[in-house]
Amino acid sequence: MMVLVKISDRLNKYLEMVLFSMIVAMAVIITLQVVFRFFFTALSWSEEASRFLLVWSSMIGASVGFKRGAHISITFVTNLLPKKAKKPISAVSYVIQAIFFWIVTYYGVILINDQGFQTSPAMGIHMSYVYMVYPIVAPIILVHLIAGIIKMVNE
């Protein structure tokens, strides 16, 4: 089971590099868009590319934040509970989160099947490449979630 924790750690390290690259690419594209709009002819694809990079970087950032435990959580109730009661409450929370990310994965696949044939107007790419973020990132968050459960049980 500790192998899954190592897989989660490696996935997160890789996704942090991908996230950084996407944010840098987005900053470069937006800068080029401003320069070209001011001095030359506007880049017709730049707004769409930066929007798609924003979607992907937001989802990947959610995965990285989930792994780090950086998302907002309401803990004032659980902090009042005795230590023995915290683990069952956390287990219920993990189950609810797992159900949510499974639903995101499931409906992400449905979204790709239903709408992925469309092409983006400026770049002409299939929207399935944009929608693919949901069935890719949600299972990664599930891996992080299971790794978190393993860590909690081993504490």
What ranges do the domains of the chain cover? 2-154
Between the CA of residue 65 and those of 23, 33, 39, 56, 71, what are the distances in Å? Answer: 15, 29, 39, 14, 6
pLDDT at 155 over 80: no
Between the CA of residue 112 and those of 44, 81, 107, 117, what are the distances in Å? Answer: 25, 43, 9, 8
pLDDT tens, position by position, 62-97: 999 999 888 777 777 777 888 888 888 888 888 999
Global pTM value: 0.87
Q: What pLDDT is stored for residue 72 in this prediction?
A: 74
Q: What pLDDT is stored for residue 47 in this prediction?
A: 92
